[in-house]
Amino acid sequence: MVEDTANGNHRTTLPDAVGLAEAIRVGEMSPVEAVQGAIDRIEALDGQLNAVIHRQFEQALEVADSPDLPDGPFRGVPMLIKDLWAEEAGQPHHAGMKGLRDAGLVASRDNNLVIRYKEAGFIIVGRTNTPELGLVATTEPAAYGPSRNPWNTDFGTGGSSGGSAAAVASGMVPAANASDGGGSIRIPAAMCGLVGLKPSRGRISMGPLKDEWGVSVQHVVCNTMRDCAGILDVTAIPFLGDGVVAPDHGRPYADRVGEDPGRLRVGLLTESLRTGVHPDCAESARRSADLLEALGHDLIDSYPAALDGLEELGWAFNVNWAVNAVLSLELLGDRLGRSITEEDVEPGTWLLAQLGTDQSATDYAKAQSVMATFRRNMATWWEEGFDLLVTPTTAQPPPKIGELTPTHEDPLRASHRSLPYATFTSPFNTTGQPAISLPMGSSEGLPVGTQLVAGYGREDILISVGSQLEAEARWSRERSPIHA
């Protein structure tokens, strides 16, 4: 444990996952003690935050005490899993859906990523809250209620990895699984003051049920660049049959932490034609860009021209989003042994799925073509010699609880009001490029983030530059008011 004396704070705080693994390795604590500590923190804090919706404490303690615990780099470190597709055999998988909750759906096998976590020595202690099917930018599902921001519980945590973000920001665990189909790692990371890397398409296996070619990817939210890098090293290992495998650059990623990335060409974008940008969010990006310039990088007034015309891409992304909502309901219905009905889901999910059902095969094929054209057009900016693009992570600070939830009169209210939170993030789910949110700003006491985007496959650059900014901003010293 580490004594935190920043700002007069004398509480004892949890080390990051790398530090906790080292403490276990040298015998300062046992895996059982590490897991019991996480259990104690969850029990003490979760009543205020509603981050952990399924607890598997007894099993976790048994795994921690087992001689068969794998001797991986993170042996004995407690981990939380987002309750969306990252399934674990014998544990609930409800995807934020009341129909699956009421049916008591349990996973029959481990997801590929969960296999990698276990091989690395992580011990899973529970599952975290998520909006229904991860469809919106707030974690307030009807099935489990809202997750609350540990910086101010009147505000949300973002979505769709909001439960994981609340758990890590409050110190329940050092890192937690998260996934990102339109910003769902980066948005909660920004709102809760965390590091959130969306890896490149095909960097981490999405099997066995999901495909790597889609817009969604998996990783973690955490506090430090070395956790972000080290956990990527142990999970970015392909499985047989993966549809996309991202090219390797700079592995192992852990070696990129603290490494000088050289002099980079950096562009900056702080405005959006789709939505207004709050001054505090824009300032976070500008401050980060200025700091990168002070560190010796070339800051150039440029950004990809393709980001100026997103109307057609917005149409294509929405078609893809709606059609995939239909697919998700069909896959989960197969697991239940019956069709998902309107009574099983929230009104917004049902309406979105109906919109997806109404799309023709030609519409869907056209949407894929539009997204492919956008991907190629975006790539030219990086090929012309740029290394990084700096943007705000979100266009607005965290919303109050209830501001993004649907109503009977407007069941798609959550989707519509999510736009300011995904306007800077979702284009890079389409392109498949790696993008990271870093806790570089604040707005009235709540965190806001800066997003860095690199060329496809270049997580190594994001990790090197992120560690440069971490050394200057020292964000992991800042702890939320609700914290272990």
Active centre residues (catalytic): 82, 160, 184
- Categorise residue 258: left if φ over 0, alpha if ψ from -120 to 50, beta otherwise: left
Question: Which of the 8 DSSP states describes residue 470?
Answer: H
Q: Which residue, 6, 9, 462, 468, is CA-closest to 249?
A: 462
What is the end-to-end Cα distance of the chain in Å, rounded?
A: 11
| Residue spans of alpha helices (H) in 298-399 | 311-336, 347-357, 361-383
Question: How far is Cα 6 from Cα 473, in angstroms, rounded to an integer?
Answer: 13
Q: Please report the sign of the dihedral spanned by the C-alpha atoms of residue 294, residue 297, residue 298, residue 303.
A: negative
How big is the CA angle at 119 (ends 114 and 124), to the nearest 5 degrees?
50
Q: Which residue, 393, 443, 453, 483, is CA-closest to 137?
A: 393
Burial-class residue 284 by CB neighbours within 10 Å (0-12, 13-18, 19+).
buried
Which of helix, strand or coil describes residue 254? helix
In the numeric block, which tokens belong to residue 326? 């239909």
CA 130 to chain centre: 11
Residues found in the chain: 484
Burial-class residue 443 by CB neighbours within 10 Å (0-12, 13-18, 19+).
middle
Question: How far is Cα 285 from Cα 170, in angstroms, rounded to an integer?
Answer: 25
Which amino acid belongs to residue 69? L
Residues in CB range of 144: below 8 A, 6 or more apart: 50, 53, 96, 101, 129
In the numeric block, which tokens belong to residue 445? 């006491």
